[in-house]
Amino acid sequence: MSLEQRNKKVAETFEKFKIGQWGNELIRSCAQVATNVVEQKHQVSRAKRSRALGSRAFRGSTVWFTGLSGAGKTSIAFALEAYLVSKGIPAYGLDGDNIRTGLNKNLGFSKEDREENIRRVAEVAKLFADSGVVCLCSFVSPFAEDREVARRTHTDCDLPFFEVFIDTPLEVCEQRDTKGLYKKARDGQIKGFTGITQDYERPEAPELVIQTVGRSIEESTMEVIRLLESQGIIPRLENAVSEVEELFIYGNRLSSAIEEASRLPQVEITSLDLQWVQLRNPIHNGHALLMQDTQRQLIERGYQNPVLLLHPLGGWTKDDDVPLETRINQHKAVLNEGVLDPNSTVLAIFPSPMMYAGPTEVQWHAKCRMNAGANHYIVGRDPAGLPHPNGSGDLYDPRHGAMVLKMAPGLNDLEIIPFRVAAYDCSVGKMAFFDPTRKEDFDFISGTRMRGLAKSGKEPPKGFMAPSAWKVLSEYYQSLKSKMDTN
């Protein structure tokens, strides 16, 4: 529909309702429609807008929820809005009540006013969609002609429009009656109330019909998500977290899963193979301090029982790193001594090789932990990487890991917690957060120095590592020394 045709329709609408009463007995007359206007073309393309919004594609579109009052339109629309925004997709919900308190507060509920209400909303939704936002409109919109006007407003501008009919029976809506409107309509206090004294024209060919009886808001919302995925508005991967298959097995499913596993192909792993399944670093009390402090912060923020995922690397690393079996035993010793609370810690192996890929690997680690269910991620001081080719130091800046996670896509469900530097505080004989005002009190015990102490059979400073955990580490390096002496 051209701008001239739309202006003509507006004029016809006002002519049909030229004089009428509304609100406080004020008289409204036909507004003059401007004719000396020329549509102005934007210089910014939709592709450029999508990049500015951080989207990999233009996702501007409108989802039009229609149905009786109390059907569940707003509940589903707002749940969908929250989902899309959590996935980094710009979305905004336009609700009928909210619009009537501002933009359309001068409109009543006559047929003509309902037409004008929907026309205005359709124009606003079109602007949202054209800007790259997924616009979610929840309006009773009882007349099929008005909904068709809203559709044409979008399709004439090559913008996707999806009509979603929330098909909830009248008796169910009346039972819900969250706003008390049905009771007022039955009592005659509200005239022209849809479903009671005014008919609702059911959509003949909506893109989606949702029946809410016996279904949760989440289930209904997932139907709309699948529609948007099928139409290419949002990528299918966006809902991977919500629909990931549960991998933990409980109860009577456990025995059948074990039986199934026994029939699967197997690969025998020898002691030689195990040397390629290695860990990255042992845990000392400085690491534990970071984990304990994070738990304290989360409890102060209101979390009931924060659970630590102790997720050591289980894939290939350098030959001089500690083997997996020794590393796990060292972790267990830390837990057994209570340095980390065993009741709120999950110890699991992360079966990934050490790739020394710097910021790229930082993103890989963070996203894997997020998919495993982590909500908070402690970021290390620097990403492991290769030396700089000119010999001037490391290839990656120590800040690269934390910097890249602040701008990396797909981490909306993960809160990044900065790594605080911990060192051995000689004044108190334990690991503590570094205080630059008294740096002479701190001893930074490097990994190389720690391995040297273990190989020589010496003890680290008291409070550096749990004694039994140090014993596991020391015995491993002592065994290596014995093998070398024998050879």
**Is the distance from CB of 195 to CB of 183 less than 8 angstroms?**
no
Give the integer Cα–Cα distance in Å for 337 and 245. 35
Q: What b/e readout covers 421-459, taking b as 16+ CB neighbours within 10 angstroms?
A: ebbbbeeeeebbebeeeeeeebeebeeeebbebbeeeee
Question: How far apart, in whole angstroms, are the C-alpha atoms of residue 246 and residue 240?
Answer: 12
Distance in angstroms (rounded) separating the CA atoms of residues 273 and 279: 14
**What is the rounded distance in angstroms from the CA atom of residue 179 to the CA atom of residue 181?**
5
Query: Within a 10 A sphere around the Cβ of 249, how many other Cβ atoms?
Result: 12
> Per DSSP, which regions of 369-434 are E strands?
376-379, 415-418, 422-425, 430-433
What six digits make up the tokens of 409? 């896509």
Sheet-wide strand order for 208-210:
91-95, 134-138, 61-66, 161-166, 208-210
What single letter denotes the amino acid at residue 30? C
* Cα dist from 25 to 22, 117, 141, whole Å: 6, 20, 26
141 is a catalytic site residue: yes
Q: Which is nearest to 415 in space by CA: 374, 456, 476?
A: 374
Q: Which residues lie below 8 Å from residue 201, measured CB to CB, with a gap of 6+?
A: 142, 143, 144
* Whether 91 contacts 204, CB under 8 Å: no
Helix, strand, coil percentages in the chain from 3-state DSSP, rounded to 5: 45, 15, 45
What is the dihedral sign for C-alpha 46, 47, 50, 52? negative
Q: What is the DSSP letter of 18?
A: S
One DSSP character per residue, 260-296 reads HHHHS------HHHHTTSB-S----HHHHHHHHHHHH
CA dist 368 and 350 (Å) reads: 9
User: Nearest 5°: CA angle at 145, between 77 and 114?
Assistant: 65
Cα(150)–Cα(137) distance, integer angstroms: 11
How many CA atoms within 13 Å lie on the side-chain side of 89? Answer: 28
List Cα–Cα distances, 294 to 6, 211, 278, 381, 405, in angstroms: 59, 44, 27, 15, 18
Q: Which of 141, 255, 344, 456 is the catalytic position? A: 141
Question: Active-site positions?
Answer: 141
